[in-house]
Amino acid sequence: MLLNKKKINLYQKNGVVALYDVIDKRWIKKLKMGINKNFSKPSKYKCVYEKKDNKELFYDDYCNWKNIPEYKDFLFNSILAKIAAELMNSKKVNLFHEHVLIKEAGAKKNTPWHQDQSYYCVEGKQNVSFWIPLDNVAKSTSPEFIIKSHKWKKKIYTYKILWKYI
């Protein structure tokens, strides 16, 4: 077992748990190489959310793991799938997709609050997403999560930040 029972129970109860230093630095280095390949030749799904002086500051791309060997290697050979299985109390893990989100220094635009599940074309409760920063990220620019929002009956597609719930 990679995770202790307390972390797994927190995830099951709250829908979110922080796991620090679980991804080896060699994987981080490999993912950075993959990102460089990805954005030198992005897919049709690339989207730019913020530009300044013709420089892209906030952008993303997804569904590239089949084309980027570093992504595929990480997804299938790192401990990520084992961690996902433990968090979901599952014997099997299926990959839905990877999503790379880049916010360069100086980006001002906030990411709107949303529930990932509402964007997925899958049903069920055994679903886990990982946020894996490849650089040091200040708390002030880190994602925020609403505890137990995974148990809400209504799906939220986009929302302003709900400060009173955080």
Q: What is the DSSP string of the chain?
A: --S-HHHHHHHHHHS-----S-S-HHHHHHHHHHHHHHHHS--TT-EEEEEETTEEEEEEEES-TTT-HHHHHHHHHSSHHHHHHHHHT-S-------EEEEE-TT--PPPPB--GGGG-S--SS--------SS---GGGS----TTGGG-SS--S-B---GGG-
pLDDT of residue 116: 61
Residue 158 has pLDDT above 90, yes or no: no
- In Å, how far from its chain's centre is CA 55? 24
Q: What is the pLDDT of residue 156?
A: 58
Which residue bears the tokens 């952008």? Answer: 59
Whole-number pLDDT of residue 64: 97
| Number of domains within the chain | 1
Structure tokens at 125: 């409760």
Kindly report, residue by residue over 28-85, the tens digit of the pLDDT: 999 999 999 999 999 999 999 999 999 999 999 999 999 999 999 999 999 999 999 9
Residue 145's closest CA among 10, 9, 5?
Answer: 10
- Give the confidence band of 165 by pLDDT, cuts at 50, 70, 90: very low
| Residue, of 162 and 66, whose pLDDT is higher | 66
Bridge partners, 99 (sequence order) = 62
What pLDDT is recorded for position 61? 96
What domain range is 117 assigned to?
Answer: 5-165
Cα 38 from Cα 61, distance rounded (Å) = 8
| 45 contact partners, CB below 8 Å, separation of at least 6 | 61, 62, 63
Does the structure show a pLDDT above 70 at 2? yes
Give 88-144 pLDDT, tens digit per residue: 999 999 888 899 999 988 888 887 665 665 556 666 667 788 999 999 888 877 878
Q: Are 162 and 115 in contact (CB under 8 A)?
A: no
CATH of the domain at 17: 2.60.120.620
Q: Which residues 6+ apart lie within 8 Å of 129 measured at CB? A: 116
Whole-angstrom Cα distance, residue 148 to residue 119? 18
- The larger pLDDT score, comparing residue 161 to residue 126, is at 126
pTM recorded for the entire structure: 0.84
For the cut 70, the answer to whether the pLDDT of residue 145 exceeds it is: yes
